[in-house]
Chain A
Amino acid sequence: MDMMKRIFNKLAATLWVASAWVGTVAFTAAHAVSDLPGGPAVRQLNLHPPVTKIAEEQAWLHWFMLILCSAIFVAVFAVMFYSIWKHRKSVGHKSANFHESVTVEIVWTIVPFVIVILMALPATKVVVAMKDTTNADLTIKVTGMQWKWGYDYLKGEGEGIGFLSALDSTQREMSNNGGPKAGEQVEDYLLKVDHPMVVPVNKKIRLITTANDVIHSFMIPSFGIKQDAIPGFVRDTWFRAEKIGDYHGQCVELCGKEHAYMPIHVKVVSAQDYTLWVNDELKKLAAKADDPTRVWTAEELFARGEKVYTTNCAACHQPNGKGVGTIKPLDGSAVVLDADKGQQLAVLLNGRTVALPDGKTNVMPSWKQLSDTEIAAVMTYTKNNWSNKTGQLVQPSDVTAARK
């Protein structure tokens, strides 16, 4: 008897230790982390708090279905468990003999039929609303690629902005090293990107999705959107976020080994902040295109100048620089060869009208729409091509100065 007790106690103690260990590993050692607003919450039980009308409708539908289904479930299984309780052989219940009833069968075919129709009706309305991508204020093309997202602002305020958005590389490294260490608080683990998509609040945003390589899928739970990005095809979806904030999603179509590492981050900002962001981005874009304060090397200017010349000048002045008809040659031109850059610069920026002997005029248009770099490059090119061997370089800064 004593022996039994001791074995029992030992067993109980072992079990206790084991379950404590499991509990510890599962709940406490699982690093301290708090909810991520716009992203997942700790031990979140239901859909994200909705930020769009569609997400709100989805949340409503989910509750509606959950309650209806639970009620039916409870009703059906109440009957079954009542029967299991009462109609057991061990309590002496004798089996009845009925096994058919057409009436009952018809009733319990029609009742579920009516119920599913009732369920489908509110859902239909939402499906139609979800698919209506017309009248968007802003259109953004979303390109899925292994393993990052590309965002191109196609239409609306910010048109022309385009950038890539990838997972923060330190977090990718962290994942390889076994995840955040105990005590390390990383609320946005695997959700932090280098360059989030920015959109204005309360505006209808249409997203056009496509992909470069394999199928990806763009999801923002808070907005209630999920749209596959399919290579070779375009699809669209839309949202109108009603609350300023940061919203997170992830790629949800298996796209290769880094599938878990291409998060989505959308910043919803006020209209003013959006305009500020757009101006900032456009400036950055222009700056990235050509930095007019940079000093270029002769080779760079010559190579760039050749391109500019081919695109803009060669049609009239000809690739050989000899001109044609009334168009003046550049090869050997005194204006081009002049050691003072000012004369040629003035022609390029302001154009020139020359009266011809037969009374007609010959117009060289102004090229001031070209950037400083482009003008500097094409000037350098003409000054050092064909038989022109001046050795002169024109820097973008010269053009900037001349424009003033």
Chain B
Amino acid sequence: MSAVLDSHDHVEHDHHSHTPTGWRRWVYATNHKDIGTLYMCFSLTMLMIGGVLALLIRAELFQPGLQLVNPELFNQLTTMHGIIMVFGAIMPGFVGFANWMIPLQIGASDMAFARMNNFSFWLMVPAALMLVSSFFMPGGAPAAGWTLYAPLTLQMGPSMDAGIFAMHLLGASSIMGSINIIVTVLNMRAPGMTLMKMPMFSWTWLITAYLLIAVMPVLAGAITMTLTDRHFGTSFFNPAGGGDPVMYQHIFWFFGHPEVYIMILPAFGIISQIVPAFARKKLFGYASMVYATSSIAILSFIVWGHHMFATGMPVTGQLFFMYATMLVAVPTAVKIFNWVATMWRGSMTFETPMLFAVGFIFVFTMGGFTGLILAMAPIDIQVQDTYYVVAHFHYVLVAGSLFAMFAGYYYWSPKWTGVMYNETRGKIHFWWSLIAFNVTFFPMHFLGLAGMPRRYADYPMQFADFNAVASVGAFFFGFAQVFFLLFIVIPTMMGKGQKAPQRPWEGAEGLEWEVPSPAPFHTFETPPKLDATATKIIA
């Protein structure tokens, strides 16, 4: 991986001989590009691990009856698949994009706190090791679901404590990362780069960073209370001592709902960069995009109760959370409309980034609509905790967040690696992923409507056919990502492929395309002079 990055290092070596090399370069990394690379390698690793867990789940569910795993291990698999994908793959993936792209987009020389940046990455490694190794601890991995509902967590073995500690570390890492992003964006923009000229990706991350700072401590509080309930005789959530298990859910989802927007807002940002680039037309309604993103972020704090309609909340509570949740559809719809309007009367081409972006809009909108249907409390009572919900959140997290990251990878990897990915392979990856994704997750809507509960190791015979289809689809989807890793990521990282020009995309705008490909180790060491649109360097 370091081959390509080393090659541009040579250019810089003359006047930056203090830059560490070999393993020290990565362990002591303070350069935002190196840390961005680390984050993305980490994310990709966790994606593969989480994917293996998912495939074990799907293999077990291929037929009714237990064939491969026992129900206890099954619960461990679903729990760890969720935690690893959310905290290990999606979140760090976007932080990787932020590290690489925010300084490049706003004309900053690096992130504001370079050493803290290093620390926030390296905190994740022990956390990930703890999470993955929890399978080998006595009693196995945590098996209470990624939501870690009390009081089931009180019945878990020692790995639960390891899991809680790991999530504390990941939370601390996220908070530090967010502080870094906020300070960088607010203080280190090049002269002339006003907030309202800032690229959408940086904007969405600024908002996301505020969300993270607001809610990660809430999660830390919830899991700390779980920890003291487990070991120190407190009864925050333990009903045996007068605690309230539903209170845990309130606290968890007060974190959890903003969390799902944390995982989708940066995706919106990436799509808002790519669609204009390939439509060769400016983003329609830039200001309204900023306002829509902010509205979604604010609304995210008042909708958590929709995860809890079945807990038996009072009628006013159900109505409030139903209305508030349905309101989220408004700013989200505005975003979709703006993207379509950006494409309208453009001059479009469909290289892989654009394919993934269009695929994102199409499939994410399906997830958005099922979200609207789930927001209706009476319908939610039918499908809550069934496969309908599983389908819904995979439509927004896989076809949403993950596809956006793929789009971002194809869009920006020429800048990172200095070589173009293979376009044919990119297109294969796209179509393969899109089809396999839908084969996997579309039948789950039917399963959910028919009442198949989620987190079930075995199920009635009537659900067999759709489960078999979903399992076949899942394996095809998994292979598509192995293909992506082996035939796209690794070759580009090794510098194989056509040399990338400075601006590989005809319609792409922004400061990242004003520096050579691959981006030199240090960029914008002196603040660049920008033109009136803040997309070009004039001196």
In the assembly, what is the distance between CA of A176 and CA of B68, in Å? 10
| A235 contacts partner chain B, Cβ-Cβ < 8 Å | yes
Given contacts A177-B65, A217-B385, A226-B384, contact A22 B472 (CB under 8 A): yes
B330 and A42 form a contact (CB under 8 A): no
Of the listed stretches A32-40, A154-162, A292-300, name the one at the interface; the rest are far from the partner chain.
Answer: A32-40
Q: Which of A42, A79, A176, A256 is the one whose CB lies under 8 Å from B462?
A: A42
Interface membership of A4, Cβ < 8 A: no
Whose C-beta in chain B lies nearest to the C-beta of A251?
B453
Q: CA–CA, A88 to B280, complex, Å? A: 10
Inter-chain CA distance A398–B476, complex, in Å, is: 76
CA distance A373 to B362 in the complex (A): 74
Within 8 A of A (CB), among B330-367: 330-331, 333-334, 336-337, 340-350, 358, 361-362, 365-366
Flag A142-177 by CB within 8 Å of B: 1 or 0 each: 000000000000000000000000000000001111
Contact B152 A227 (CB under 8 A): no
B155 at the interface (CB under 8 A from A): yes
A213 to B149 alpha-carbon distance, docked (Å): 13
Q: Within 8 Å of chain A (Cβ to Cβ): is B461?
A: yes
B514 proximal to A (CB < 8 A): no
B443-473 Cβ-contact flags toward A at 8 Å (1 or 0) = 0001001111111111111111110110010
Give the interface SS of chain B, mostly helix, strand, loop or mixed: helix
Give a binary string over A96-115; 1 marks a CB under 8 Å from any B CB, 0 the rest: 11111100110011001100
B6 close to chain A: CB less than 8 A: no
Residues of A within 8 A of B378 (CB): 54, 57-58, 61, 123, 126-127, 130, 224
| Chain B, residue nearest A45 (CB) | B446
Complex CA–CA separation, A195 to B379 (angstroms): 29
Whether B464 pairs with A31 at a CB distance below 8 angstroms is yes
CA A66 to CA B372, docked complex, whole Å? 10
Q: Is A77 an interface residue (CB 8 A)?
A: yes
- A58–B374 CA distance with the chains assembled, in angstroms: 12
Chain A: minimal CB distance from B469 (Å): 6
Please choose the segment from B35-43, B99-107, B284-292, B488-496 that sits at the chain A interface, where 4 or more of its residues have CB less than 8 A away. Answer: B284-292
What's the nearest-Cβ distance from chain B to residue A397, in Å? Answer: 45
For the complex, is A403 an interface residue (Cβ under 8 Å from B)? no
Is A255 a contact partner of B449 (Cβ separation < 8 A)? no
Given contacts A44-B446, A180-B65, A257-B143, contact A73 B382 (CB under 8 A): no
For residue B7, CB closer than 8 A to chain A, the reply is no
Given A95-B345, A259-B75, A119 and B326 contact (CB-CB distance below 8 Å)? yes
Stretch of B239-247, B264-272, B424-432 lying at the A interface:
B239-247
CB-CB under 8 A from B451, the residues of chain A are: 40, 47-48, 219, 221, 249-250
B188: shortest Cβ distance to chain A, in Å?
Answer: 27
- Within 8 Å by CB of B329, from A96, A116, A235, lies A116
Bound-state CA distance A81–B365 (Å) is 14
Contact A73 B456 (CB under 8 A): no
Are the CB atoms of A214 and B65 closer together than 8 Å?
no
Which residues of the other chain, A, contact B144 by a CB distance below 8 angstroms? 254
**C-beta contact mask, B227-263 vs A, less than 8 Å → 1, else 0?**
0000000000001101111100000000000000000
Nearest CB in chain B to that of A27: its residue: B465
User: Which of the candidate stretches B23-31, B209-217, B312-320 sits at the interface with the other chain?
Assistant: B312-320
Return chain B residues, CB-CB under 8 Å to A190: 64, 458-460
Question: In the assembly, what is the distance between CA of A111 and CA of B92, in Å?
Answer: 36
Closest to B386 in A: A252
- CB-CB nearest in chain A for B362: A77
State whether A88 touches B347 (Cβ < 8 A).
yes
CB of A25 closer than 8 Å to a CB of B: yes
| B537 at interface by CB-CB < 8 Å | no
Give the number of A-B contacts (CB < 8 Å): 338
Q: Are A257 and B75 in contact (CB under 8 A)?
A: yes
Residue of A22, A45, A98, A231 near B245 (CB, 8 A) is A231
Write the chain A residue with the least CB distance to B455: A254
Least CB separation from B73: chain A residue = A257
Closest to B276 in A: A99
Is B472 a contact partner of A61 (Cβ separation < 8 A)? Answer: no
Chain B neighbourhood of A226, CB < 8 A: 310, 381-382, 384-385
Give the contacting residue for B151; candidates A44, A77, A231; CB below 8 A. Answer: A231
A137 interfacial contact with B, CB 8 Å = no
- Whether A260 is near chain B, meaning CB under 8 Å from some CB there, is yes
Bitwise interface map of A from 67 to 78 toward B, beta carbon under 8 Å scored 1, else 0: 001001100110
Please, which residue of chain A has its CB at the minimum distance from the CB of B235?
A232
CB distance from B165 to the nearest CB of A (A): 22
A349–B130 Cα distance when bound, in Å, is: 72
A65 to B242, alpha carbons, bound, how many Å? 41
Bound-state CA distance A128–B377 (Å) is 10
B193 at the interface (CB under 8 A from A): no
Nearest A residue to B333 by beta-carbon distance?
A112
Q: Mark B398-428, 1 if CB is under 8 A from A, else 0.
A: 0000000000000000000000000000000
> Are the C-beta atoms of A43 and B446 separated by less than 8 Å?
yes
Convert B91-128 into 0s and 1s, putting 1 for each residue whose CB lies closer than 8 angstroms to a CB of A: 00000000000000000000000000000000000000
Question: Is B77 an interface position by the 8 A CB rule?
Answer: no
Which chain B residues lie closer than 8 Å to A180 at the CB level? 64-65, 461
Cβ contact within 8 Å between A250 and B376: no
Once A217-B385, A254-B145 are accepted as A-B contacts, the answer to whether A116 and B462 lie under 8 Å apart by CB is no
- Convert A195-232 into 0s and 1s, putting 1 for each residue whose CB lies closer than 8 angstroms to a CB of B: 00000000000000100011101010100111110111
Determine the chain A residues whose CB is within 8 A of the CB of B70 once the complex forms. 257
Docked-complex contact A39 and B341, CB < 8 angstroms: no
Q: Are B345 and A80 in contact (CB under 8 A)?
A: no
Contact B349 A58, beta carbon cutoff 8 Å: no
Considering the complex, which residues of chain B in the window 291-327 have a beta carbon less than 8 Å from any beta carbon of chain A? 310-312, 314-315, 318-319, 322-323, 326-327
For window 289-317 of chain A, which residues contact chain B by CB distance below 8 Å?
Answer: none
For A32, give the chain B residue with the smallest CB separation: B461
Near B by CB (< 8 A), chain A positions 308-333 give: none
Nearest A residue to B354 via CB reads A84
Partner of A109, one of B283, B330, B362, B462: B330
Query: Within B367-401, which residues are at the interface with A (CB < 8 Å)?
Result: 369, 372-373, 376-379, 381-382, 384-386
Which of B286, B345, B385, B507 meets A83, CB within 8 Å?
B345
Residue ID in chain A nearest B384 by CB atoms = A226
A131 to B345, CA, bound (A): 50
CB contact between A178 and one of B65, B280, B469 (< 8 Å): that residue: B65
Choose from A127, A209, A256 the contact partner of B318 (Cβ within 8 Å). A127
- The reply to whether the CB of A134 lies closer than 8 angstroms to some CB of chain B is no
Contacts A180-B65, A213-B151, A249-B451 given; 4 further ones with Cβ under 8 A?
A90-B349, A179-B63, A179-B66, A252-B310
Hey, which bits of chain B sit against chain A, CB under 8 A? Answer: 62-67, 70-72, 75, 143-145, 149, 151-152, 155, 239-240, 242-246, 279-288, 310-312, 314-315, 318-319, 322-323, 326-327, 329-331, 333-334, 336-337, 340-350, 358, 361-362, 365-366, 369, 372-373, 376-379, 381-382, 384-386, 446, 449-466, 468-469, 472, 507
15 cross-chain CB contacts under 8 A: A55-B382, A58-B381, A58-B382, A93-B347, A95-B346, A96-B345, A99-B282, A100-B284, A105-B334, A123-B376, A179-B63, A190-B460, A219-B451, A219-B453, A230-B245
What 8 A-B pairs have minimum CB-CB distances, sorted nearest first?
A: A179-B65, A232-B239, A235-B312, A44-B450, A26-B468, A40-B462, A99-B282, A95-B347
